[in-house]
Amino acid sequence: MAHGTNAMLVGMGRREAAAVSGRSWRTRGNALLAAVAGAFTAAQLLLVPPSMGLGWDEAVYVSQVDDQAPAAFFSAPRARGVSLLVAPIASWSSSTSLLRVYLAVLSGIALFLALRAWRGLFPARVLAAGGALFASLWVTLFYAPQAMPNLWVALGALLAVGCFLRARAADRPDRRALWGVAVGATLMAVMRPTDAVWVALPLLAVASAVRHWRLGLVTAAGLAAGAVPWVVEAFISYGGLRERLSEASRVQGDLGWYFAVDDQMRSLIGRALCRPCTGAMPNPVVTVWWVLLPLFAVLALVIAVRARRTARTLIPLACATTAAVPYLFLIGYAAPRFLLPAYALLAVPVADALLHLVTTPSGRWRPVAASLLAVAVGGHLAVQYAVLDHVVDRTVADRRAWARTADALHGLGVRPPCLLTGHEAIPLAHYAGCSSGAIRGNNANTTTAEILRTARQEPVAVLSVPGGAPPSYARGWELHRLEGMDVRIAPAPRAGDPA
């Protein structure tokens, strides 16, 4: 009897200790992660001007739900997730500032939730450090308030993998974790279905290997749910899934074996799209963090193996690797945003490795190591800020030039409804409130006959670089030289002309 009573008391004591530990995490841990997420949102609003105009890809995504501008051509690789994401703002307001504030706040909330999904897997300070490492990259800060899919794939991956690890380790079915896996997988797939599959490959493999069929089914179901719009559109607009995948491959330069590691390094200086990716490598101070990242990932795995907690580090590292593979070895060009999912998944294990280097097993700081790491991190942040500042200045200038060109087109009589074709027609058409068209290239969506037929009904302008040769049908059109742009405008339709 006494033995049973003692066992019951011990069991109650353990449960009470666990409850106290849980409450402690909910207060201190949540506060720490909220501070990181809040700083992330604040940094976006301070360092990336909310008034910065929309970019080329943003114009495509936003135009799909903007009633005030015609929808731009939507090429095969794109998915509708970003358009759905911005619809609550873009469907009724044309304010770019309002859209950027909305995305900055939303991305901060999403980062908090994605990091919180890892509770119990790593200490709160590791999760906060990992979140800070990811959030402080110039590419994260630059793209977070933009209507682009890559950051949302990254946050979906972080959520899905964290919940996957929790569900796998649970003694009994963890419904919250399973729902987290489903939501994270759906978010990834609705943004970029192909990227989502690459991220999820290790999750599906692990679920199959350990025969955790429920976890594997939930992961697959989340991917399928998010990909439904893309697959349905494939059959409606492309004749089938295989045809859309083939067209997406063509648009991306025909997927195959390419060594794009050096291209990704060249893009780190702030090149939004490195295609073709030529020129010298950036200064080593810009790329050193990128070179060290896989080394710290290996160190994180070694530490995890020694501590007998391999899975919680190996699985995110495996997902980061598969997420990076297509953009390092299968596509012949580069953009720094492509690797955001890999950076997000590497962030927590790398933070764990860094904190291991600067603390003793008892949790005390190693003064020399901590000081050296603080100096290194300070230098890293300075470089990230310098690149971000350069990218923002250049981007703001370019988009202001688009706005001035749109105003000039209005002054020349090219006002909605209207059609633009040629050089940078897609973003300029969105700024001018026109539709856009192309007869060749990745965004081909019309024909010469259709352009000439439209010119008999509304203003049509052909855009080209200064001194560039116009298409044959526009050689006799009136030429205007604008800032960095030659514009040829079709003759105004005359009364009695056939439509």
CA dihedral for 178, 180, 183, 187, sign (positive or negative): negative
Residue type, 65: V
Whose CA is closest to 129, among 296, 367, 339?
Answer: 296
Does 335 have pLDDT greater than 60? yes
Cα separation values, 68 from 92, 172, 417, 418, Å: 9, 52, 11, 13
- Predicted confidence at residue 22, as pLDDT, reads 54
What is d(CA 139, CA 348) in angstroms, rounded to the nearest whole number?
18
**Cα angle 364-295-335, degrees, rounded to a multiple of 5:** 120
Contact 348, 122 (CB under 8 A): yes
Look at 15-24, 134-143, 155-164, 347-356 and tell me which has the smallest mean pLDDT: 15-24
Contact 188, 157 (CB under 8 A): yes
Contact 60, 146 (CB under 8 A): no
What is d(CA 238, CA 103) in angstroms, rounded to the nearest whole number?
31
Whose CA is closest to 474, among 499, 441, 451?
Answer: 451
Does 24 have pLDDT greater than 50? yes
CB under 8 Å to 354, separation ≥6 — which residues? 129, 296, 373
Sheet with 478-482: list strands edge to edge.
435-437, 419-422, 460-464, 485-489, 478-482
User: φ, ψ for residue 334 (rounded to 5)?
Assistant: -145, 155
CA gyration radius, the chain = 26
Whose CA is closest to 169, among 210, 202, 200?
Answer: 210
Per residue in 418-438, pLDDT tens? Answer: 999 999 999 999 999 999 999
Whose CA is closest to 101, among 52, 32, 135, 37?
Answer: 52
- Predicted confidence at residue 1, as pLDDT, reads 47
Does 277 have pLDDT greater than 80? yes
The label of the residue with tokens 């990181």 reads: 36
**Cα angle 154-325-319, degrees, rounded to a multiple of 5:** 50
Contact 323, 198 (CB under 8 A): yes
Entry field: residues in the chain: 499
Question: 329-359: string of b/e by CB count within 10 Å (b at 16+)?
Answer: eebbbbbbbbbbbbbbbbbbbbbbbbbbebe
Residue type, 127: L
Q: If you ran DSSP here, which 8-state letter would residue 19 be given? A: H
| Collapsed DSSP state (helix, strand, coil) of residue 365 | strand
Cα separation values, 195 from 168, 231, 321, 339, Å: 23, 14, 12, 10
What is d(CA 402, CA 59) in angstroms, rounded to the nearest whole number?
12
pTM score:
0.93
Does 487 have pLDDT greater than 80? yes
What is d(CA 55, CA 223) in angstroms, rounded to the nearest whole number?
28
Contact 188, 156 (CB under 8 A): yes
Per residue in 362-384, pLDDT tens? Answer: 889 999 999 999 999 999 999 99
Does 259 have pLDDT greater than 90? yes
- Predicted confidence at residue 69, as pLDDT, reads 84
